[in-house]
Amino acid sequence: MTGQRTVAETARPSEPRYGNRPTMKDVAARAGVGLKTVSRVVNGEPGVTPDTERRVQEAIEALGFRRNDSARVLRKGRTASIGLVLEDLADPFYGPLSRAVEEVARAHGALLINGSSAEDPDREQELALALCARRVDGLIVIPAGDDHRYLEPEIKAGIATVFVDRPAGRIDADTILSDSYGGAREGVAHLIAHGHRRIGFIGDRPRIHTATERLRGYHAAMADAGTAVHDSWVSLGSTEPGRVRAAVERMVSGPEPVTALFAGNNRVTVTAVRVLAEQERRIALVGFDDIELADLLGITVVAQDAAAVGRTAAEHLFRRLDGADHPPVRVQLPTALVPRGSGELPPA
Given the rule CB under 8 A, which residues bind a second copy? Answer: 15-21, 64, 66-71, 73-74, 76-79, 81, 88-92, 94-96, 98-100, 102, 106, 111-116, 129-135, 153-154, 156-159, 270, 273-274, 277, 291-297, 307
Cα dist. 93→48, 85, 114, 155, 202 in Å?
50, 14, 15, 27, 18
**Positions in 9-28 near DNA (CB under 7 A):** 14-15, 17-18, 21, 23-25, 28
- In angstroms, rounded to a whole number, what is the distance separating the alpha carbons of residues 189 and 224? 8
Nearer to a second copy, 113 or 258 (CB): 113
Q: How far is the CB of 202 from a second copy (least distance, A)?
A: 18
Q: State how far Cα 190 lies from the chain centre.
A: 29
Is the CA virtual torsion 343, 344, 347, 348 positive or negative? negative
Contact letters (x/-) for DNA, 73-112, by CB under 7 A?
A: -xxxx-----------------------------------
Applying CB under 7 A, which of residues 3, 47, 226, 323 lies at the interface with DNA?
Answer: 47
Among residues 28 and 252, whose Cβ is nearest to DNA?
Answer: 28
347 Cβ neighbours under 8 A, 6+ residues apart: 194, 195, 196, 197, 198, 259, 260, 284
The SS3 call for residue 46 is coil
Q: Which does 14 bind (CB under 5 to 8 A by kind): a second copy, DNA, none?
A: DNA
Applying CB under 7 A, among 68, 114, 227, 232 the residue interacting with DNA is: 68
Task: Pinpoint the alpha helices (H) of 66-111.
Answer: 69-76, 94-107
Q: Give the single-character DSSP code of 254.
A: S
Binding site for DNA (CB under 7 A): 14-15, 17-18, 21, 23-25, 28, 32-37, 39-40, 42-43, 46-49, 51-52, 65, 67-68, 71-72, 74-77
